[in-house]
Amino acid sequence: MMNRRSSKLFLLSTTALLAIATPALAASGGGEGKMQELIWQAVNLLILLSVIFYVARKPITAYFADRREEIQNDIKTADKLLSDSRREFADWQGKLAELQAEVDTIREDTRRRAQEEREQIIASAHDAAERIKSDAVAAIDQELRRAHAELREEAATLAVDLAKNMLDEQIDDRDRDRLMDEFITSVEPGANGSGS
């Protein structure tokens, strides 16, 4: 296919050269001598180009075939690199999305745990305050009972002392003797009754 194309190109260029040169020679009035010279030059050029084409055809064809294959390989490599890059980019996008979801989950868990700990701390503080309050109320009640008992005891002691002082002031020796006699009299009938 490359040979046909090259041959067609060569024939086309030779025909174009002759078509351009013939009117130029005719216009110059050179006549037939110049026309023959032009034909021989065209034939010589055609022979020279044919030789060059024949000799250089294989290396040029090989060069262009190699170059074409190299370009195709470069395109394949570039396509592979592009597809690998796109796949890797998609993987990283997926990992980034997973990481973002994980960060959001961790953030939400941390927020939830902080709220739970806050509620626990508040509940513990409330319980401690209630215990302290009930302990204080119990201590106050106990102190009040103890104070009442001490006041009763002191009041009883004062009442006994006051009664003793009053008795000491109001009762003289005669009253004491009389009380003693009455006591003995009240005790003796019980003693006599038990002896009989």
- The proportion of the chain whose per-residue pLDDT surpasses 90, expressed as a percent, equals 32
pLDDT number for residue 55: 81
Check residue 29 and give left, alpha or beta (phi > 0: left; psi -120 to 50: alpha).
left
Alpha-carbon distance of 139 to 133, in angstroms, equals: 10
Tokens of 178: 């009389």
Alpha-carbon distance of 151 to 147, in angstroms, equals: 6
For range 83-104, the mean pLDDT: 93
What's the predicted TM-score (pTM) here? 0.36
For range 145-160, the mean pLDDT: 86
In this predicted model, which residue has the larger pLDDT, 14 or 171?
A: 171
Decide: helix, strand or coil at residue 171.
coil
Give the closest residue to 90 by CA, choosing from 98, 130, 2, 58.
98
Q: Is the confidence at residue 1, as pLDDT, over 50?
A: no
